[in-house]
Amino acid sequence: MTGVESAPNTIFSEWLRLTAASEATDQSQAYSVRPEILDSWRRCKHDMVEPNSRTLHRQLDSASLQVMLEENQELITIAKPFMANLYGFVAGSGFVVVLTDVRGYIMEIFGDEDVLTNPMTVSFFQGADWSEREAGTNAIGTALVIKEPIQVSGAEHYCRKHHNITCSAAPIMDKQGNMIGILDVSGSFTAAHLHTLGMVVAAAEAIMAQISIRRKNNELSVINNRLINIFNTMSDGVIMVDNQGFISELNPVAQKLLGCGCGSITPEAGPGIRLTSILGDKNPLIQKMLHGKQSCNDIELMLNTRHGVSHCLASGEPVTDAQGLVNGYIIIMRSIKQIQKLVNQFSGHYGTLQFSDIIGESKAILEAVRIASRAAACTSNVLLQGESGTGKEIFAQAIHNRSNRQAGPFIAVNCGAIPRELIGSELFGYAEGAFTGAKRGGKLGKFELASGGTLFLDEIGDMPLEQQVALLRVLQERSVTRIGCDQVIPVDVRVICATNKCLVQEVERGTFRGDLYYRLSVISITIPPLRDRSDDIIPLFNYFLEKLDRQERNFNVDSEVLAKIIRYDWPGNVRELQNVVERIVNLTEGLEITLANLPQEILDWHPHFLASAPVRNIKETLGVRGQHRRIVEETEREEILTLLYTHGGNVSLTAKDMGVSRNTLYRKMKQYAIEN
């Protein structure tokens, strides 16, 4: 009875059948679930437990709760250390460890700080009733009835509100075999493990052994065996060190993290080695724990092994005897990769794009990639400038993922999308009670969250002046002060900014601070618009076509389509091209991509300077790199000169006739050395 014997979908289907059937009909039915679960379901149905109830469980009033705690004080006192040890294995994972009396009322609970708000554990609180009559089929209530350990997972629970959790419970008996309580571990159904019930059973037996030890000292061996089993099956590495600093025990995970079997450390020789010979005498963990006799948390370790560098976080705790004297230490080690994977998975604070995701062979884009690659090797601030849709965030993520901060978080903030009154609290955080509506306990700012990684500030040109001052101070001092708090918090953050504005002009207008501009633009990278790298249009088109065509239809693209997309000005740049390709993939029924598949704005776009430049053989033009560009540039220069002469040098009218902006026309005039 250590797990679910039927597939979850089958169990849920059987649950639906039983809860929908009448009691008389149900007794004649056969169900594909464990007998103990089916018996419990039928008990709940007979007791008219509401399977779809969403209300919290019934709880004892304060007077009755106090009486229960006093009557079970001895059991609670003995069980709490074992519960704490058991919780140490699941801390931070959303699981709770609870102790109930023989009626199913919770007496003691160990859990994370959000126990009472987490949807998974909101029904676990002191005084809550977890008997079958109140909570339906569950590990606590069912164990009270069958007097045996049991794990109830997902849809095996009779009440649907508990279908997202797994409960593993074991009864606690006295020497005469009378039940005196229940020990339970409960948490998310998706994080359940079959060995969880074994750990609970071991802990419950340890509690019973501790109760009996007051009468019989020989039960200590039983407790020791149980603890060894838990020690060896933990997912974290555990090292036990004596008071002289020598390793006495280490579990299999610790052996792997320390590279046992390589160099001077082997599984046989591990115990007896001095800890300082592995970590070094100046390691913070050694200094604080072995020398300072203090506990320490999350000390970063970089250990060189024959298999490579072992990167992990370690926490240590002194172990004291009955007189309070330190007689050893326990060290818990967690792989940094495992921690980062969890953080990235649940926070989404990571970058996925690389330089290989930047498509193009034009001189302009290759130069931008070259500068960005060099920037990735240093820690200086980077300013990415370019029109909307040119791919500034791709460059930012690529720089982060090639830097030595790639293991840290990548956090993106759009300064133009946050109300000006909230930018400060978003970037720098705030303390509890800093302003009306502030969250209880305060909130970390993006600078603190990005510490050890990269903070990407998009649309930096839209940041209000008053916050520019605060940003400049953070960049200079490498520390932040939360709103409503005077504590200075050091941060280790690399800042990458992006804008589609000309910040030099914004500085001249007085809308952007000059000192901040020079602080941000240590390395400035200009990402060219798509119209200035027409050689990349066809490769990008083909790349998006292959990427977005999940059916792998191998489209045949008409040459007129290629001619149109080359001639188009692409005001939305690469983002617009990607959207156009996605439209083509979704709306093309056959294998031929023709002009009919293009958006109307591309079909209707006919610049004047191409009207007199017919292309008789577009395939030949596309086959020779740069040939079409020279034709376009020569015709474009002639067209600009003609229109300027026609309009008497009026740039606005000329730009209007050409269908481009004044800034674009000025740039082209400079490119072709045209003086007005």
Q: What are the tokens at 288?
A: 């604080």
Whether residue 296 contacts residue 284, with contact meaning beta carbons closer than 8 Å, is answered with: yes
pLDDT at 8 over 60: yes
Q: Which helix (H) or strand (E) holds 492?
A: none
Neighbours of 420 (CB within 10 A): 13
Alpha helices, DSSP H only, in 559-613?
559-567, 573-587, 600-603
Q: What is the pLDDT of residue 333?
A: 87
pLDDT confidence bin for 55, thresholds 50/70/90: confident
Confidence grade of residue 124 (pLDDT, cut at 50, 70, 90): very high
The Cα 365–Cα 386 span in angstroms is 12
- Asked if 255 and 270 count as a contact pair (C-beta separation under 8 A), the reply is yes
Query: Is a pLDDT exceeding 90 seen at residue 356?
Result: no
The model's pLDDT over 278-333, given as tens digits with 9 standing for 90+, comes to 777 777 787 778 777 888 887 767 677 766 667 677 888 888 888 888 888 888 88
| Four-residue CA torsion sign, 40, 43, 45, 47 | negative
pLDDT tens across 319-338, in order?
A: 888 888 888 888 888 876 57
Residue type, 90: V
C-alpha 655/C-alpha 646 separation (Å) is: 12
pTM: 0.45
Stretch 351-375: mean pLDDT: 88
Model confidence pLDDT, tens digit, residues 539-553: 899 888 888 887 778
Identify whether the C-beta of residue 430 lies closer than 8 Å to the C-beta of residue 442. Answer: yes
pLDDT per position as a tens digit, 496-525: 999 998 888 888 888 898 989 999 989 999
What pLDDT, on the 0 to 100 scale, is given for residue 218?
55
Q: Specify the residue for token string 């593993």.
A: 168
CB neighbour class for 216 (10 Å; exposed up to 12, middle 13-18, buried from 19) = exposed
pLDDT reported for residue 300? 66
Q: Considering only the C-alpha atoms of the chain, give the largest distance between any 2 of them, rounded to a whole number of Å.
A: 110
pLDDT at 139 over 90: yes
- CA–CA gap between residue 493 and residue 446 (Å, rounded): 10
Beta bridge partners of 592: 556
Distance between CA atoms of 40 and 43, rounded to whole angstroms? 5
Q: Is the pLDDT of residue 597 over 50?
A: yes
Does residue 268 register a pLDDT over 50?
no
Q: Give the DSSP letter of residue 435.
A: S
DSSP H stretches of helix in 128-258 = 132-135, 139-146, 195-213, 220-233, 252-257
Per DSSP, 442 falls in state -
- Percentage with pLDDT > 70 across the chain: 87
The full set of domains in the chain, from first to last, is 35-227 (3.30.450.40), 234-342 (3.30.450.20), 355-526 (3.40.50.300), 530-605 (1.10.8.60)
Q: Which residue has the tokens 């918090």?
A: 489
SS3 532: helix
| 576, 570 contact by CB (below 8 A) | yes
Residue 266's pLDDT band (boundaries 50, 70, 90)? Answer: very low
**Site of tokens 């209300």:** 55
Interval 612-635 mean pLDDT: 46
Task: State the Cα–Cα distance between residues 640 and 662, nearest whole angstrom.
Answer: 12
pLDDT at 177 over 70: yes
Q: What are all long-range contacts of 142-146, with beta carbons under 8 Å and residues at least 24 apart?
A: 142/36, 142/37, 142/40, 142/169, 143/169, 143/170, 143/171, 143/182, 143/184, 144/102, 144/103, 144/104, 144/171, 144/179, 144/182, 145/40, 145/43, 146/36
Lowest mean pLDDT among 15-24, 184-193, 432-441: 432-441
Highest mean pLDDT (candidates 2-11, 79-88, 112-121, 450-459): 79-88
Tokens representing 391 are 């791919």
Residue with tokens 């959000």: 114
Q: How far is CA 399 from CA 449, 453, 460, 533, 666, in A?
A: 19, 11, 18, 22, 32
- The region of weakest confidence among 153-167, 288-302, 353-367 is 288-302
- Average pLDDT value for residue range 47-71: 92
pLDDT-derived band at 622, boundaries 50, 70, 90: very low
DSSP 660: S
Please enumerate, as own/partner, the contacts of 513-517 that have beta carbons within 8 Å and a separation of 24 or more: 513/465, 513/468, 513/469, 513/472, 515/472, 516/468, 516/471, 516/472, 516/475
- Count the helix, strand and coil residues of the chain and give each as a percent rounded to the nearest 5: 45, 20, 35
